Amino acid sequence: MEFNISSEEQYRSYYQKSIQDPATFWADIATNFKWKQKWDEVLDYDFSIPKITWFKNAKLNITENCLDRHLEQNGDKIAIIWEPNNPNEDSIKLSYKELHTKVCQFANVLKNNGAKKGDRICLYMPMVPELAIAVLACARIGAVHSVVFAGFSSKALASRIDDAKCNILLTADGAFRGTKTIDLITIANAALEMSSSIETTIVLQRIKSDIKLKKQQKWWHNEIRNVAITAEPEIMDAEDLLFILYTSGSTGKPKGMVHTSAGYMVNTAFTFQNVFQYNKGDIYWCTADIGWITGHSYIIYGPLLQGATTVMFEGIPTFPDGGRFWEVVAKHKVNLFYTAPTAIRALEKFPIEMVNKHDLSSLKVLGTVGEPINEEAWHWYDTHIGKGNCPIVDTWWQTETGAMMISSLAGITPQKPTFATLPMIGIQPVLMDDNGNEITKNPAEGRLAIKFPWPSMARTIYGNHKRYKDTYFSTYKNKYFTGDGALRDANGFYRITGRVDDVVIVSGHNLGTAPIENAINELSEIVESAVVGFPHNIKGNALYAYVILHDGINGNDSIRADINKLISKHIGPIAKCDKIQFVKGLPKTRSGKIMRRILRKIASKEMDNLGDISTLLNPDVVQSIIKGCL
């Protein structure tokens, strides 16, 4: 069976096969990869436990598929193009051969430092080639990588190190972000003071600072000197852990989503190929950070599995000016471009000359991910970037799903502005009503669940299988609950409307409100707080905090600044609140639960539409909050 889908008819026939006989279908797709040993059974699952096994007992190493598999015929092809933050610094191009060598070399560095199969290694790094190399080096030796986004604070880093009990930390002396320099090593050192499992830290010199390393800390450049440039890939079981990636949840503790080797490999490669309609020779650029799932699946694994050239960008969209993305597209003749709606909304505010002065004629396909795209941004992207000639794939998926779940296939299946459209092959989405029943008619609106396993789904939450079950498999029997709401039109096209839980997507970053509230509540002046999202024209959503102060304390801007400082310290600047309102009370149910629905409506200025508030413990408080918000 062809790996590439090249017509709508083929999409429909593959989809039918993948639903009617998933085992045969995925077995066929999986033959495109290199296995050390084939599977005994394609799928074994039980959502009630939940336990999901794909490609049972198969043996492989994903890096052999990302690298070694391409060497013979495409060894000199460029695997990674790295574009630095500063446009005056040279970009770096690594061929598949060079990348293979560097990955093997760093795999040996990890081994020399005591790393072995199953160890967890934390990466807290800038967007430099060494990050991709280190991720692959972990996978090469069978160590589990846990990449923590370099915008997170020391506390957030420490809690992630502790949760996974990582024994090695890979970091850098600093990171460049636009005009700023981020002092990564100081943040990492503060995290090390608060956590206990790290034995060795390897530090990359990126900003050429003359810091002194502490005991148990080593310079990256010293470590890679004189190590062998080949490393045999560790043989991994299909279900051995490949990585942990933390995402927000509705409690204060982040969830370490666990992804395993074989199913993740098969599905990220298959979706990359078909959603973007990748052709040999295409230059592909995903602007995400490797600290998020998009970077894992669609900067590193998906593209490299397909032997593509993947661009990795260190900087930000607005440095040195709001035309940087378009300059980079022109510079590297990017064909396939994948970004977030928040970036599009930020860039459409700049004068259009910033776009028009760059030659974007190389572009063939545009993509978006991370949050719902509004109609206006969709049309701006289509008209000004795609010049009306590039299909736009609006890809809905999650850290938990590992790979794209609902999206059109570029130029193959129909697109519809603001709609993610149709399920990917093998994905069985359903809409659920308020009574927990599946809605089968069209059009419809409900909560989005998935009723059958797919190869790249997260298998558990690291160290907390019960939470995995409670969060994803307890809302609806025998279904995975996504936490999102969605519409389905008369043609069966899906449009994701947003989160229905206590997660807010700010600038495409998935933030749980609970850890933000916990941070705020640490301030001695504060009794209680509630954080919700409200619409924001660039970030998609911004954060609104309702805060109760102790008697006798008056709210003022200095307390607001302290609140945001605390949030930065505990989580990172991405979680700062745009609005902070001091209130006398919070609307609560009789059982004491904060009614966030009401607070969300007030923050969104939808005061006319608050619904029934008579059942609240303290309905009077609502009017006083509304007054204070106007």
Q: Provide, rounded to whole angstroms, the least separation between the CB of residue 389 and ligand PRX.
A: 22
Q: Provide, rounded to whole angstroms, the least separation between the CB of residue 194 and ligand PRX.
A: 25
Q: Which stretch binds ligand PRX (CB under 6 A): 53-61, 193-201, 290-298, 429-437?
A: 290-298
Distance CA 391, CA 414 (A): 9
Q: Provide, rounded to whole angstroms, the least separation between the CB of residue 293 and ligand PRX.
A: 5
Single-letter residue type at 139 = A
Name the nearest CA neighbour of 283 among 346, 190, 365, 378.
365
Q: Provide, rounded to whole angstroms, the least separation between the CB of residue 593 and ligand PRX.
A: 22
510 contacts ligand PRX (rule: CB under 6 A): yes
Q: Provide, rounded to whole angstroms, the least separation between the CB of residue 619 and ligand PRX.
A: 31
| Among the listed residues 83, 289, 394, 517, the single contact to ligand PRX using CB under 6 A | 394
Stretch 415-434 residues interacting with ligand PRX (CB under 6 A): 420
Question: Long-range contact list for 344-347, CB < 8 A, 24+ apart?
Answer: 344/368, 344/373, 344/377, 344/380, 344/381, 345/374, 345/377, 345/537, 345/538, 345/539, 345/540, 346/317, 346/318, 346/322, 346/538, 347/317, 347/318, 347/322
> 10 Å Cβ neighbour count for 544?
24
- Does residue 41 come out as left (phi exceeding 0), alpha (psi in the -120 to 50 range) or beta? beta
399 contacts ligand PRX (rule: CB under 6 A): yes
Give the residue with the Cβ less far from ligand PRX, 105 or 271.
271
Q: Which stretch binds ligand PRX (CB under 6 A): 273-281, 374-382, 391-399, 580-588?
A: 391-399
273 contacts ligand PRX (rule: CB under 6 A): no
DSSP structural state of residue 227: -
SS3 134: helix
Q: Provide, rounded to whole angstroms, the least separation between the CB of residue 89 and ligand PRX.
A: 29
Q: Provide, rounded to whole angstroms, the least separation between the CB of residue 41 and ligand PRX.
A: 29
User: Do 73 and 51 form a contact (C-beta atoms < 8 A)?
Assistant: no
Size of the site for ligand PRX (CB under 6 A): 23
Q: Provide, rounded to whole angstroms, the least separation between the CB of residue 283 and ligand PRX.
A: 22
User: Do 241 and 463 form a contact (C-beta atoms < 8 A)?
Assistant: no
Binding mask 201-240 for ligand PRX (x = CB under 6 A): ----------------------------------------
| Among the listed residues 263, 295, 483, 515, the single contact to ligand PRX using CB under 6 A | 483
Please state the φ and ψ torsions of residue 70, each to the nearest 5 degrees: -95, -10
Distance CA 36, CA 39 (A): 10
Give the residue with the Cβ less far from ligand PRX, 192 or 275.
275
Distance of CA 333 to the CA centre of its chain: 25
Give the residue with the Cβ less far from ligand PRX, 233 or 249.
249
Name the nearest CA neighbour of 205 among 134, 126, 116.
126
Distance CA 372, CA 409 (A): 18
Angle between helix 22-30 and helix 8-20 axes, rounded to 10 deg: 120
499 contacts ligand PRX (rule: CB under 6 A): yes
286 contacts ligand PRX (rule: CB under 6 A): no
395 contacts ligand PRX (rule: CB under 6 A): yes
Give the residue with the Cβ less far from ligand PRX, 278 or 419.
419
Name the nearest CA neighbour of 599 among 563, 625, 580, 627.
625
Give the residue with the Cβ less far from ligand PRX, 504 or 547.
504
Which residues have C-beta within 8 Å of that of residue 308, sequence separation ≥ 6? 272, 278, 282, 284
247 contacts ligand PRX (rule: CB under 6 A): yes
Q: Provide, rounded to whole angstroms, the least separation between the CB of residue 626 and ligand PRX.
A: 28
Helix H or strand E encompassing 164 = helix 154-164
Instruction: Classify each residue of 165-174 as buried b or exposed e, where b means 16 or more C-beta atoms within 10 Å of its C-beta.
Output: ebbbbbbbbb
Give the residue with the Cβ less far from ligand PRX, 297 or 529.
297
Instruction: Classify each residue of 95-128 as buried b or exposed e, where b means 16 or more C-beta atoms within 10 Å of its C-beta.
Output: bbbbbbbbbbbbbbbbbebebeeebbbbbbbbbb
Give the residue with the Cβ less far from ligand PRX, 238 or 245.
245
Binding mask 361-390 for ligand PRX (x = CB under 6 A): --------xxxx------------------
Please state the φ and ψ torsions of residue 581, each to the nearest 5 degrees: -115, 130
Q: Which stretch binds ligand PRX (CB under 6 A): 5-13, 60-68, 498-506, 592-600?
A: 498-506
Q: Which stretch binds ligand PRX (CB under 6 A): 196-204, 291-299, 512-520, 522-530?
A: 291-299
Binding mask 557-596 for ligand PRX (x = CB under 6 A): ----------------------------------------
- Which residue reads 């289509």 in tokens? 382
Give the residue with the Cβ less far from ligand PRX, 247 or 309.
247
Q: Which residue ranges make up the site for ligand PRX (CB under 6 A)?
A: 247, 292-294, 369-372, 394-399, 420, 482-484, 496, 498-499, 505, 510
